[in-house]
């Protein structure tokens, strides 16, 4: 057997090497080590996770090691199908911060379901926050059963001129709102009690004692006024408070038909309180021979009774407001849960005699829930 030896030249060896390399490359493919990284700690916090509701979206992501974000790079937020994004959304609807410091987004635009903008710079390790206003994205309807949420994936990317830099994904859940119900039963307690002698009431002092059901002026002497009073207490959880009014059942009258008229000289001053004055004692006008009126130490009444020594008529036709508050009351705090109502009477020597002058008072307490 003979072996044949062939001499191969340099040029031929080069060609053979190139052909072999081409075969290897064709078998394994050309590759590069350059690739996009994952954004770190990506999250999206909704202000409202209910179906078909507007919600703000607070999106946070961290720039990964080896990456950065330059002013000309684009940040894109891909909103999943089902969410409705306002077609007019732009950079004015976005609030962007980097490591808590304000950044200024530019060129905000919506393309399909993708919100894109530029103008933000960040270094590796820094956190970018993008807050989308709560007027721009409406959440989808929910398809699951009650109490079971639907999950949706948001994608955030950064790119430069269309070349992907980094990307990350996060999810949100749309779920039914939970209705919380409770019942707080209404409360309203109104109490009338008597007060003793020398009790202060709106700048005056009582001259005698009363009870919860009686104001006994007793024997009246011309030119000597008498003052008695009652304490009112209210406890309620009424949201808008309460009003207490009082009116008389008739004139302060005797069985003979004689009347101690209302303050002042029967003029029935009801709208605005005025300082107490003695009856004017005109022999030709019986309404000036004696009168009686009332005051209150509730300092926020609308009828000026909060002025010291200020009185209004006790009317038999119109309820007079003598105690009120615009919220819940505690039964004890002055002007809120308690007040004293004073009654003053004064006659002249012309007031007709009678040992049975009388009338009734009716307090009406009205809560406003």
CA distance 266 to 286: 10
CA torsion sign for 270, 214, 364, 339 is: positive
pLDDT (0 to 100) of residue 29: 35
pLDDT at 15 over 60: no
pLDDT of residue 273: 85
CA angle 247, 253, 259 (to 5 degrees): 105
pLDDT higher than threshold 50 for residue 20: no
Per-residue confidence (pLDDT) for residue 146, from 0 to 100: 81
Q: What integer is the mean pLDDT of 126-143?
A: 96
Specify which residues 332 forms β-bridges with.
Answer: none
Q: What is the pLDDT of residue 278?
A: 96
pLDDT of residue 268: 64
Higher pLDDT, 19 or 122: 122
**Pair of tokens at residue 119:** 């103008």
**In angstroms, rounded to a whole number, what is the distance separating the alpha carbons of residues 313 and 265?**
10
For residues 266-281, average pLDDT: 81
Domain ranges of the chain: 37-174, 188-367
Q: What is the pLDDT of residues 236-245, one digit of tens each?
A: 999 999 999 9
Main-chain phi, psi angles of 172, to 5 degrees: -125, 160
Which pLDDT score, from 0 to 100, does residue 36 have? 64
Q: Considering Cα of 257, then 262, then 265, then 271, what sign does the dihedral take?
A: negative
Q: Among residues of the chain, what percentage have pLDDT more than 90?
A: 79
Fold matches, 37-174 and 188-367: yes
Q: Is the pLDDT of residue 339 over 90?
A: yes
Query: Does the structure show a pLDDT above 60 at 35?
Result: no
pLDDT digits (tens, 9 = 90+) for 184-224: 999 999 999 999 999 999 999 999 999 999 999 999 999 99
| Residue 43: per-residue pLDDT | 97
CA angle 201, 203, 208 (to 5 degrees): 45
pLDDT per residue as tens digits for the range 78-126: 999 999 999 999 999 999 999 999 999 999 999 999 999 999 999 999 9
Q: Where residue 271 falls among pLDDT bands split at 50, 70, 90? A: low
pLDDT band at 183 (very low <50, low <70, confident <90, very high): very high
pTM over 0.75: no
Distance, CA of 156 to CA of 169 (rounded, Å): 6
CATH fold label, 37-174: Immunoglobulin-like (2.60.40)
In this prediction, residue 272 has a pLDDT band, given cuts at 50, 70 and 90, of confident
DSSP 255-306: TTS-EEEETTTT----SS-EE-------TT-GGGSEEEEEEE--TT-TTSTT
Q: What does the radius of gyration of the chain's CA atoms come to, in whole angstroms? A: 44
Q: What three-state secondary structure class fits 245?
A: strand
pLDDT of residue 334: 96
Burial letters 281-316, b for 16+ CB under 10 A, else e: beeeeebbbbbbbbbbbbeebebebbbeebbbbbbb
pLDDT surpassing 70 at residue 67: yes
Average pLDDT of the chain is 89
CATH class of the domain whose range is 188-367: mainly beta
Q: What is the C-alpha separation between 207 and 78, in angstroms, rounded? A: 83
In contact, 337 and 187? CB cutoff 8 Å: no
Nearest to 168 by CA among 136, 133, 140, 127: 127
């Amino acid at each position: 057997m003979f072996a044949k030896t062939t001499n191969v030249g340099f040029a031929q060896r080069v060609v053979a090497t190139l052909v072999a390399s081409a075969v290897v490359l064709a078998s394994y493919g050309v590759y590069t080590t350059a690739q996009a990284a994952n954004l770190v700690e990506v999250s999206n916090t909704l202000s409202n996770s209910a179906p078909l509701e507007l919600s703000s979206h607070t999106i946070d992501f961290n720039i990964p090691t080896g990456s950065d974000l330059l002013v000309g790079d684009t940040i894109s937020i891909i909103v999943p199908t089902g969410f409705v994004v306002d077609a007019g959304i732009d950079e004015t609807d976005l609030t962007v911060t980097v490591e808590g410091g304000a950044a200024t987004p530019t060129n905000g635009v919506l393309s399909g379901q993708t919100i894109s903008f530029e103008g933000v710079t960040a270094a590796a390790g820094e956190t970018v926050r993008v807050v989308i206003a709560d007027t721009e994205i409406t959440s989808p309807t929910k398809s699951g059963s009650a109490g079971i949420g639907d999950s949706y994936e948001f994608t955030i990317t950064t790119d430069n001129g269309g070349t992907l830099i980094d990307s990350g994904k996060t999810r949100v859940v749309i779920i039914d709102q939970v209705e919380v119900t409770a019942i707080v039963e209404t409360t309203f307690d109104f109490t009338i009690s008597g007060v003793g002698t020398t009790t202060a009431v709106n700048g005056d002092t009582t001259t005698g004692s009363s009870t919860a059901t009686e104001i006994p002026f007793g024997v009246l002497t011309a030119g000597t006024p008498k003052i008695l009073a009652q304490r009112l207490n209210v406890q309620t959880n009424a949201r808008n408070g309460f009003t207490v009014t009082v009116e008389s059942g008739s004139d302060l009258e005797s069985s003979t038909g004689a009347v101690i008229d209302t303050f002042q000289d029967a003029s029935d001053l009801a709208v605005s309180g005025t300082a107490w004055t003695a009856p004017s004692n005109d022999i030709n006008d019986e309404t000036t021979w004696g009168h009686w009126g009332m005051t209150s130490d509730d300092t926020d009444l609308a009828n000026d009774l909060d002025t010291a020594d200020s009185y209004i008529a006790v009317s038999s036709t119109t309820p007079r407001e003598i105690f009120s508050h615009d919220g819940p009351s505690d039964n004890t705090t002055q002007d809120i849960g308690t007040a004293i109502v004073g009654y003053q009477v004064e006659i002249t020597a012309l007031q007709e005699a009678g040992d049975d002058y009388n009338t009734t008072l009716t307090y009406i307490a009205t809560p406003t829930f």
